[in-house]
Amino acid sequence: MAFEILRWTVLIVALAPLVYYSIATYCGWSYFRSLRKSPPPAPDFTPPVSILKPVRGVDREAYKNFASFCRLDYPEYEILFGVSDADDPAIPIVKTLQRNFPHRSIRLLVGVPSLGASPKMNNLCRLVREAKYDLLVINDSDVRVEPDYLLHAAAPLKDPSVGVVTAFFRSITEGNFASDLDAVGVPSDSSANVLVARKFSRIDFALGWTMVITKERLEEIGGFEAMASHHSDDFTLGHRIAERGYRVELMRKPVWMVFPREGLRQFFKHELRWSIMLRNIRPLGYVGIALTFGLPWALLAALAAHSFAGSAAYLSAFLFLRLTMAWTVGVWGLGDPVVRKKIWLIPLRDAANFFVWVAGFFSNTVCWRGTDYQVKKSCLIPMASLRDVPNASIGVAAPATLISARR
Query: Residue 336's domain is classified under what CATH number?
Result: 3.90.550.10
Is the predicted pLDDT of residue 398 greater than 80, yes or no? Answer: no
Is the predicted pLDDT of residue 369 greater than 80, yes or no? Answer: no
pLDDT reported for residue 383: 78
Is the predicted pLDDT of residue 402 greater than 70, yes or no? Answer: no
The b/e string for 157-175 (b: 16+ C-beta within 10 A; e otherwise) is: beeeebbbbbbbbbbbbee
Is the predicted pLDDT of residue 406 greater than 50, yes or no? Answer: no
C-alpha to C-alpha distance for 106 and 100, rounded to whole angstroms: 11
Is the predicted pLDDT of residue 52 greater than 70, yes or no? Answer: yes
Q: What is the pLDDT of residues 173-183, one digit of tens each?
A: 999 999 999 99
pLDDT reported for residue 387: 53
C-alpha to C-alpha distance for 13 and 183, rounded to whole angstroms: 29
Range of the domain at 279: 1-407
pLDDT reported for residue 395: 32
Query: Lowest-confidence range among 197-211, 292-306, 351-365, 393-407?
Result: 393-407
Q: How many residues does the chain have?
A: 407
Parallel, antiparallel or unpaired: strands 379-382 and 77-83 = unpaired
Q: What is the mean pLDDT of residues 240-267?
A: 96
Is the predicted pLDDT of residue 233 greater than 80, yes or no? Answer: yes
Q: What is the pLDDT of residues 59-95, one digit of tens each?
A: 999 999 999 999 999 999 999 999 999 999 999 999 9
Rounded (5°) CA angle 132-134-137 = 90
Q: What is the pLDDT of residues 146-205, one digit of tens each?
A: 999 999 999 999 999 999 999 999 999 999 999 999 999 999 999 999 999 999 999 999
Count of structural domains, the chain = 1
Average pLDDT over all residues of the chain: 91
Q: Tell me the C-alpha to C-alpha distance, in Å, between residue 205 and each of 42, 222, 235, 367.
A: 26, 17, 4, 23
pLDDT band at 386 (very low <50, low <70, confident <90, very high): low
pLDDT reported for residue 385: 57
pLDDT band at 1 (very low <50, low <70, confident <90, very high): confident
Q: What is the pLDDT of residues 9-38, one digit of tens each?
A: 999 999 999 999 999 999 999 999 999 999
pLDDT reported for residue 119: 86
- Phi, psi values for residue 165, rounded to 5°: -115, 135
Q: What is the mean pLDDT of residues 216-225?
A: 95
C-alpha to C-alpha distance for 365 and 83, rounded to whole angstroms: 25
Answer whether 90's CB lies under 8 Å from 81's CB: yes
More confident residue, 377 or 264: 264
pLDDT reported for residue 405: 32
